[in-house]
Structure 1
Amino acid sequence: MLVRPALLPLWPPRVGDLFGREGPLVLEVGFGDGRFTAELAKAQPDWLILGAEVSAASVLRAYRRLKREGIGNVRLYHGQGPFALRNLVPPGSLKRVIVNFPDPWPKKRHQERRLLQEGFFRRLSTRLLAGGDLLLTTDHEEYFHFALAEAERTGLYRVEVKDPPEAHLRTKYALKWREAGRTFFHAVFTKVAEDPTPWPPTRRYEVAHALLKGELPKDLALARVPLPIPGGVAVFLEVARGEEGFYVLTHVEEEDLTQDLLLEVRRSSHGIYAGVSRFGSPLITEGVKEAVRALVRELGRRGLKVVQDHT
């Protein structure tokens, strides 16, 4: 089953609602083609496994594998692990998090993109059960020691370096790198305390649009420059003309969520509509609303007047 957060009425969903039954909840971040996920699900049929993966192609391969093997205790989310942790996992509910061979982002200027940083470990502590843990397996020694130091800095975990379990070395990349003779590193981070800072689910909204009066512009050239938004950036990538108006392909990056969505500027029975298109069921977040506000401001510079503002 694929999880579509935009269609969930409740954030985070109850475990029983998401899986159809109760049981120990496990999160796997970066499940790749799903072979490890499938093995784990069959070995632990009472576990409820939520997987997060940013690669659409990998999600499709994993989904087909699970369907083919008749595995029913896994739910897949196409997106970033921290977003799934924040919005799909109830506080204090996780038995385990599994991170196999995460992207090490080896260049110095890219290290802020690494998953296993102090902030992540602090927030993870709010979702783990008492005594819950995170298992890390990697072939990148520098990132491994970086993760150890980041976790120890929080004071919230007992950290144990161990030999990697054999099952963790049967992922796609592990099999490839084992043949190449690489060394593997493994650690268990067990929660011993919890960060006191609340980490509520991402706020989402029902609508983000405005109605304006005036003439629809003959063209709508928008500068392809970054627009600062709360916790991130938005960019108008491309504008296409349709029969009723314009469609604006927009890229929105927020703290733990990246979306490509369509904004519309078109005629309606009440004036000129400027706002989010429902195509693709985007999540309407504060960042998306800010992108719509920027679009409305641009239309204002072209002489249109706002008569209803729902941004």
Structure 2
Amino acid sequence: MVVTEYELKPQNFPRFPLDWSEIFGRKAKIVVEVGFGNGEFLTELARRHPEKDFVGFELSITSFVKAQKKFKRYNLKNVRLVKVDARFGLRELFPDSSVEKVYINFPCPWPKKRHEDRRITSYDFLQTLSAVLEMDGTVEFATDEEWYAREVLDTFESSEYFVVDVFEENFRRDVETRYERKWKSQGKKTYLIVARKVKSGIVKRLMEGENNMAHSVFEGNVTWEKLKELEGKVFKDENKIFVVKKVYRDNDYLLKVISTDEGGFQQMYYLNLSGRDGKWVLIFKEGRNMKVRVDADACIGCGVCENLCPDVFQLGDDGKAKVLQPETDLPCAKDAADSCPTGAISVEE
């Protein structure tokens, strides 16, 4: 059974940021988990605190399925899930001073220099947290990487918006994640940081106001030849850059678009164009899944793929990389393929 009643699709809402009291049917404190994994942690929080509302961000389809089954089992009413990058989702979907707490449990540390803008230590993400958290609201960050913990600690300590209340090694919590238990059972060190907001920051939202994501209706002369000319074209808005990567034709037309904002958040999506007699409808569609495959003969078991994208790849007992999600829309799968030293990983859209 696939449960979908807990998933929230932002493109279906008329305005941004969202009115969470309308979504949950009440006004309550809001807690967010960034990267909820199998949903175990979020489920337990929602069960223990029925007086609060919980929102989880994740990109893994498998995680969505597993988490929603848990919610359904306990008949939870106070939790919703959103399948977008949390850097984007926190900024665009939550009003200022609307979130009580943000949990970030054992995220990918993104050790490479070219990926550092994806870490919690990036300036743009810190600005988002300083805006959407309520005064004295907290960020709780857990990791098993000491260098990452030190970097996050330095970032919060040097910020005018936060003070660090807790920095603890080998911490204990009432609610634990699967990775938490795993690392502790192996004797591996874990680190916890709790930072509290003491000053409000300002963040510039790209979608504030009326929702223009869903669709657009227009009249004009649209031809296949004209659309093909758009391939590779770059369009610039005030705060965003759009690139038309590919145009497809079936009964309708389909445009594959990549957009990047000032904070480096990149999104792939499709625009479906259909119409007749000069009247056209342009509809926003989410990015398609990618098919992932590993050539076992070429794999040398370096572990790069598991480090970059643990939801999709895992080293097996034979030392070879295994694919956990043969179909995924996680961007890190492409990063893993690009970083594989032997080219053993292939990703097909």
**What pairs up with 1:132-171 in 2 under 5 angstroms?**
132-159=137-164, 160-163=166-169, 164-167=171-174, 170-171=176-177
**Does 1:217 find its partner at 2:222?**
no
Which of residues 239, 245, 259 is equivalent to 2:268?
259
Return closer, same or farther for 1:220/1:252 CA change in 2, 3 Å cut-off. Answer: same
5+ unaligned residues in a row in structure 1: which ranges? 283-311
Aligned twin of 2:254: 247
**Does 1:180 find its partner at 2:189?**
no
CA distance in 2, matches of 1:219, 1:185: 52
Greater RCO (Cα-Cα under 8 Å, separation 6 or more): 1
Aligned twin of 1:268: 276
Say which SS state the counterpart of residue 217 (structure 1) adopts.
Answer: helix
Aligned twin of 1:52: 57
Structure exhibiting the larger radius of gyration computed from Cα positions:
1
Return closer, same or farther for 1:188/1:10 CA change in 2, 3 Å cut-off. Answer: same
Return closer, same or farther for 1:235/1:47 CA change in 2, 3 Å cut-off. Answer: same
Return closer, same or farther for 1:276/1:179 CA change in 2, 3 Å cut-off. Answer: farther
Task: Measure how far apart 1:71 and its partner are.
Answer: 1.4
5+ unaligned residues in a row in structure 2: which ranges? 1-5, 289-349
CA distance in 2, matches of 1:96, 1:82: 15
RMSD of equivalent CA atoms: 2.9
Say which SS state the counterpart of residue 153 (structure 2) adopts.
Answer: helix
Which of residues 76, 79, 82 is equivalent to 1:77?
82
Say which SS state the counterpart of residue 161 (structure 1) adopts.
Answer: strand
Say which SS state the counterpart of residue 129 (structure 2) adopts.
Answer: helix
CA distance in 2, matches of 1:250, 1:9: 22
1:19, 1:73 within 8 Å by CA — same for their partners in 2? yes
Say which SS state the counterpart of residue 225 (structure 2) adopts.
Answer: coil
Say which SS state the counterpart of residue 8 (structure 2) adopts.
Answer: coil
CA distance in 2, matches of 1:108, 1:218: 40
After superposition, give the CA deviation of every residue in 1:259-295 in whole Å (9 maximum; x if it has no partner): 321343x662126x4x73355599xxxxxxxxxxxxx
After superposition, give the CA deviation of every residue in 1:194-245 in whole Å (9 maximum; x if it has no partner): 22x343462442655764437653994764x4736445554444443324x5
2:269, 2:284 within 8 Å by CA — same for their partners in 1? no
1:83, 1:257 within 8 Å by CA — same for their partners in 2? no
Question: What amino acid sits opposite 2:111 in the alignment?
Answer: P
Which of residues 213, 227, 234 is equivalent to 1:227?
234
After superposition, give the CA deviation of every residue in 1:9-38 in whole Å (9 maximum; x if it has no partner): 232223321211122111111111100001
2:139, 2:196 within 8 Å by CA — same for their partners in 1? yes
Aligned twin of 1:12: 17
Return closer, same or farther for 1:65/1:143 CA change in 2, 3 Å cut-off. Answer: same
Which of residues 117, 125, 129 is equivalent to 2:122?
117
Return closer, same or farther for 1:45/1:229 CA change in 2, 3 Å cut-off. Answer: same
Aligned residues: 275
Aligned twin of 2:334: none
1:36, 1:167 within 8 Å by CA — same for their partners in 2? no
Task: Measure how far apart 1:136 and its partner are.
Answer: 0.6
**What pairs up with 1:97-116 in 2 under 5 angstroms?**
97-116=102-121
TM-score norm. by structure 2 comes to: 0.69
Say which SS state the counterpart of residue 39 (structure 1) adopts.
Answer: helix
**Does 1:93 find its partner at 2:108?**
no
Task: Measure how far apart 1:187 and its partner are.
Answer: 0.8
